[in-house]
Amino acid sequence: MEYSDATLALITKGSNIIEGVPVGSQEWANHLLAAKVVRAASEDGQLLSPRTLHTILFSGFDIDERLNGHEAGEYRRIAVGIKNFQNTVVFPRHTEVPDMIEEWFAEADVEVDYEEAKRWHYHCWFEAIHPFPDGNGRVGRLLLWNMAMIQEGELEYIHEENYDEYINRLESWSKRNEFVTLMAPKREARPFHTIGELN
């Protein structure tokens, strides 16, 4: 399967819009660059490390302003949570993150069959760890696409209209695996679309 520049631009656009990142910004350009790096690595069957993708995503940003004093690619040294109108979700302690990500990557990197259910398992697991001070959703989706490209599968287009379905999928995984609860939906859930369905 071929993953064109136009396809990568479309999926990164959706991924950034749900995070409130303007299309055309430096952050969006970095995300698009990271998606192209993912495509190249996938051709060699390589799963990139989360730190590598985070470094690309936040290259050139003021670390004090954007990353709370962290370097791009550095695991968080602080507690992080997500607050919405219903609750606040706190992710695992920052002291646990390096070991958790090491376990995640050790398992994900030796996987030989990234069929859809396994891709989503690794994606949800990554999001439940939330290893960075910012950019976890975008890095997680880059990893999801990395696995899909290695498998030569369809890339799922995650955007505003299917955001609640995305969150519901993350929530369901967390409940099944007795992990942290991520957040409650804000809008009516809509189904996912693969890039093939949009073309």
What pLDDT was estimated at residue 65? 73
Can you give the residue ranges of every domain in the chain?
5-198
According to DSSP H, which parts of 44-162 are helical?
A: 50-57, 63-66, 97-109, 116-129, 136-150
Structure tokens at 137: 């959703």
The C-alpha atoms of residue 13 and residue 132 are separated, in whole angstroms, by: 21
Tens-place pLDDT, residues 128-140: 999 999 999 999 9
Question: pLDDT tens-digit profile of 149-189?
Answer: 999 999 999 988 998 898 888 888 888 887 654 433 333 33
In whole angstroms, give the CA distance from residue 50 to residue 56.
Answer: 10
**What percent of the chain has pLDDT above 70?**
86
- CATH homologous superfamily of 5-198 equals Fido-like domain (1.10.3290.10)
* 199, pLDDT greater than 60: no
pLDDT, mean of residues 31-38: 98
Give which of 170, 167, 169 is closest to 185, Cα–Cα: 167
User: What per-residue confidence (pLDDT) applies to 86?
Assistant: 61
Strand partners, 89: 82
Nearest to 2 by CA among 47, 39, 29, 48: 39
- The pLDDT of 49-55, averaged and rounded, is 97
Among 159, 161, 186, 156, residue whose Cα is nearest residue 171: 186
What is the pLDDT of the chain when averaged over all its residues?
Answer: 85
**Partners of 194 in beta bridges:** 156
Under DSSP, is residue 115 helix (H, G, I), strand (E, B) or coil?
A: coil
Q: Nearest-5° angle of CA 117, CA 118, CA 121?
A: 90
Contact 108, 93 (CB under 8 A): no
pTM of the entire structure?
Answer: 0.87
